[in-house]
Structure 1
Amino acid sequence: MTDLHPGVADPVMDTMNFLNEVTLNYPEAISFAPGRPYEEFFDTEQIFVHLRRYLDHLAAQGRSPAEVRRAMFQYGPSAGLIRELIADSLRVDEGIDVPAESIVVTVGCQEAMFLTLRALISGPDDVLLVSSPCYVGITGAARLLDAEVVAVEERENGLSCADLEAVVLAERVRGRRPRAVYVVPDHSNPSGVTMPLEARHELLALADRLDLIILEDSPYRLVSPGAQVPTLKSLDQDRRVIHLGSYAKSLFPAARVGYAVADQSVLKDDGTTSLLADELAKIKSMITVNTSALSQAAVAGALLASGGQVSRLNTEVAAHYGDTMQVALRGLEREFPAERRSRLGVSWNAPSGGLFLTLQVAFPADDDALGRSARDFGVVWTPMSYFHPEGGGARTIRLSTSYLSHADVEEGLRRLADFIESEVAAAHARG
Structure 2
Amino acid sequence: MLLQNALHASLTDPSLEVMNFLNEIAIRFPEAISFAPGRPNEQFYEAEKLTVYLDAYCRYLREERGLTEAQVKTQLFQYGRTNGHIHDLIARMLEKDEGIRAAKESIVVTVGCQEGMFISLRALFSAPTDVLLVGMPCYIGITGAAKLLGIEIVPVTEREDGLDLQELEDTLSRLKAEGKQPRALYLVADFANPSGKSLPVPARKRLLEIARGAGFLIIEDNPYGFFFREGPRKPTLKSMDEHQQVIYLGSFSKSAFPGVRVGYAVADQRVLGATGKQHLLADEFSKIKSMLTVNTPALSQAIIGGMLVMNEGGLLDANREAIRFYKENMDATLGALERHFPRSEAWARDVTWNVPEGGFFLVMKLPIEADEALLEQSAKHHQVIWTPMRYFYLGSGGETELRLSCSYLTPAEIEEGITRLARLIRSALEQQPARALSVG
Whether TM-score is above 0.5 comes out as yes
CA apart distance, 1:47: 1.1
Q: Establish whether residue 72 from structure 1 lines up as the match of residue 72 from structure 2.
A: no
The partner residue of 2:351 within 340, 346, 349 is 346
Match of 1:123 in 2: 127
SS at match of 1:54: helix
**Quick check: 1:215 aligned with 2:202?**
no
Q: Give how far 1:430 is off.
A: 8.1
Tell me if 1:49 matches 2:52.
yes
1:428 Cα deviation (Å)? Answer: 2.0
- Residue from 252, 266, 283 that aligns with 1:247: 252
1:361 to 356, 363, 366: 366
**1:9-24 paired onto structure 2 within 5 Å:** 9-24=12-27
Q: Deviations over 1:90-140 (max 9, x none)?
A: 001000001000000000000000000000001111000001100000000
Correspondence for 2:28 = 25
- 1:62 corresponds to which of 66, 71, 74: 66
Cross-structure match for 1:39: 42
CA contact 2:347–2:429 (8 Å) conserved in 1: no
Contact 1:114 1:141 in 2 (8 A): yes
What is the alpha-carbon distance in structure 2 between the residues aligned to residue 107 and residue 231 of structure 1? 22
C-alpha distance in 1 between matches for 2:15 and 2:396: 12
1:379 matches 2:421: no
Aligned partner letter, 2:237? L
Q: Which residue of 2 aligns with 1:428?
A: 433
**How many residues are aligned here?**
431
Of 167, 170, 174, which residue of structure 2 is paired with 1:170?
174
TM-score w.r.t. length of structure 1: 0.98
User: C-alpha distance in 2, partners of 1:245/1:351?
Assistant: 21
Q: Which amino acid aligns with 2:48?
A: E
Question: Aligned partners of 2:43 and 2:22: how far apart in 1?
Answer: 22
Out of 168-177 and 353-362, give the one that drifted further: 168-177
- Residue 398 of structure 2, aligned match among 393, 400, 405: 393
What is the CA-CA distance between 1:270 and the residue it aligns to? 2.2
> Distance in 2 between the 1:62 and 1:196 partners?
45
Instruction: State the distance in 2 between where 1:207 and 1:346 align.
Output: 37
**Per the alignment, do residues 400 and 146 of structure 1 end up closer, same or farther by CA in structure 2, a change over 3 Å counting?**
same
Rounded to whole Å, the distance in 1 between the matches of 2:204 and 2:23 is 35
Partner amino acid for 1:44? A
Does the Cα contact within 8 Å between 2:348 and 2:426 map onto a contact in 1?
no
CA distance in 1 between partners of 2:140 and 2:385 (Å): 19
| Comparing 228-237 and 9-18, the one that deviates more | 9-18
Report how far residue 264 of structure 1 moved. 0.1
Q: Distance in 2 between matches of 1:176 and 1:230?
A: 31
Contact 1:245 1:259 in 2 (8 A): yes
Q: CA deviation at 1:227?
A: 2.5
Q: Deviations over 1:230-276 (max 9, x none)?
A: 00000000100000100101110000000000000011222221100
- Matching residue within 80, 104, 129 for 2:108: 104
How many angstroms apart in 2 are the aligned matches of 1:67 and 1:291? 18
Equivalent in the alignment of 1:416 = 421
**Structure 2 counterpart of 1:101, which letter?**
E
Q: CA separation in 2, counterparts of 1:170 and 1:8?
A: 29
Give the TM-score taking structure 2 as reference length: 0.96
- In the alignment, the residues of structure 1 paired with residue 116 and residue 348 of structure 2 have an alpha-carbon distance, to the nearest angstrom, of 45
1:41 positional shift: 1.1
Contact 1:341–1:347 (CA<8 Å) still a contact in 2?
no
1:131-280 equivalences under 5 Å are 131-225=135-229, 226-280=231-285
Maintained 8 Å contact 2:343/2:349: no
Q: Structure 1 stretch 92-101 or stretch 342-351: which is displaced more?
A: 342-351
Q: 1:96 aligns to what SS in structure 2?
A: coil
Aligned equivalents of 1:430 and 1:283: distance in 2? 52
Code of the aligned partner of 2:340: E
CA–CA separation in structure 1 for the residues paired with 2:76 and 2:292: 20
Q: CA deviation at 1:409?
A: 0.2
TM-superposed CA distance for 1:341, in Å, is 6.2
Q: CA deviation at 1:223?
A: 2.8
Say if 1:231 and 1:66 are closer, same or farther in 2 by CA, change over 3 A: same
Query: Structure 1 residues 151, 341: CA separation in 2 closer, same or farther (over 3 Å shift)?
Result: farther
Residue 429 (structure 1) shift: 6.9
User: Is the 2:190–2:225 Cα contact (8 Å) retained in structure 1?
Assistant: yes
Q: Secondary structure at the match of 1:222?
A: coil
- Which blocks of at least 5 consecutive residues in structure 1 are unaligned? none
SS at match of 2:159: coil
Instruction: Give the percent of matched residue pairs that are identical in Structure 1 and Structure 2.
Output: 49
Query: Residues 161-216 of structure 1, C-alpha deviation per residue, up to 9 Å, x if partnerless?
Result: 21111111111111111111011000110000011100000000111111110010
CA distance in 1, matches of 2:78, 2:395: 45
Alpha carbons 1:109, 1:258 under 8 Å: kept: yes
Name which of 302, 312, 318 aligns with 1:307.
312
* Residue type at the aligned position of 1:118: R
Give 2:126's aligned amino acid: S
What SS is found at the alignment partner of 1:314? helix
Distance change >3 Å, CA 341–CA 262, structure 1 → 2? farther
Distance in 2 (alpha carbons) for counterparts of 1:390 and 1:374: 26
Q: Does 1:283 align with 2:283?
A: no
User: Which amino acid in structure 1 is aligned with residue 127 of structure 2?
Assistant: G
Q: CA RMSD in A?
A: 1.2
1 CA distance for matches of 2:193 and 2:132?
18
